[in-house]
């Protein structure tokens, strides 16, 4: 495993108690960073025992909760250098015209509005310090659109556009804003979707396997490092060859 230098850096990782988020947390710590985990699942937070982490219960879909949570974070750490917006949900697998409105709203509130909330709260802090690395976890579905997952696909397309807009706004500063568009991984998010939809996603991947969480963590670690000093407003593909653009 290549070592990325994140010494003396502090990261906030949303949804960091499982799946992609936990893999990122572990890789960041191995690279020398201190990590603050934001997650709304108190039980998983309580059960997680990893050195060099601070755990805070935050619902990213609620702006006031994010704002107060960031203030609490700054009481525990001096600064935040890295933000990984990873928290997200898939929602049910349903035809678009039959999709429940409540599920649509919940997906948008967490996946897209949650990413916006975290960026809105933390970006001024990064501007003040003239340093930051923001990585938003989007999805290949945001590029191509998965059938029977229209709200999820739309929310991740929004994350890609948010990344491009914010990256341009901060391009004159030492702040890089990028997103990653992975294929699906065998995490607990699979519990939310049908086997038919899982089979569909696998059939679209030329490598004929799902991405591993450690593969995502490896790419995100470089994106979060000082070495990533030029690229901003970009989407990094991690789709096993599925991406068409």
- Cα atoms found within 13 Å of the Cα of residue 55, Cβ hemisphere only: 20
Which residues are known catalytic residues?
Answer: 152
**Cα–Cα dist 100/212, whole Å:** 31
Crossing angle (nearest 10°) for helices 19-30 and 213-223 = 50
- Residues with Cβ within 8 Å of residue 96, at least 6 apart in sequence: 148, 150
Nearest 5°: the CA angle 136, 112, 204 is 70
Distance between CA atoms of residues 160 and 209, nearest Å: 24
């Amino acid at each position: 495993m290549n070592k990325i230098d994140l010494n003396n850096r502090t990261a906030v990782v949303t949804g960091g108690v499982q799946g992609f988020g936990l893999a990122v947390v572990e890789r960041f710590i191995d690279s020398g960073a201190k990590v603050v985990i934001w997650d709304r699942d108190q039980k998983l937070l309580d059960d997680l025992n990893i050195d060099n982490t601070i755990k805070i219960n935050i619902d990213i879909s609620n702006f006031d909760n994010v704002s107060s949570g960031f203030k609490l974070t700054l009481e525990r750490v001096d600064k935040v250098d890295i933000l990984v917006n990873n928290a997200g949900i898939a929602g049910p697998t349903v035809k678009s015209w039959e999709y429940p409105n409540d599920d649509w709203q919940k997906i948008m509130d967490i996946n897209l509005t949650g990413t916006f909330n975290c960026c809105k709260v933390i970006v001024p802090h990064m501007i003040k310090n003239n340093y930051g690395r923001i990585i938003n976890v989007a999805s290949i579905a945001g590029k191509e659109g998965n059938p029977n997952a229209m709200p999820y696909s739309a929310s991740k397309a929004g994350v890609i556009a948010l990344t491009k807009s914010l990256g341009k706004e901060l391009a004159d500063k030492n702040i890089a804003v990028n997103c990653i568009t992975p294929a699906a991984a065998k995490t607990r998010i699979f519990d939310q979707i049908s086997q038919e939809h899982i089979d569909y996603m696998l059939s679209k991947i030329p490598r004929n396997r799902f991405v591993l969480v450690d593969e995502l963590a490896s790419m995100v670690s470089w994106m979060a490092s000082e070495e990533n000093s030029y690229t901003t407003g970009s989407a990094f593909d991690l789709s096993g060859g599925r991406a068409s653009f």
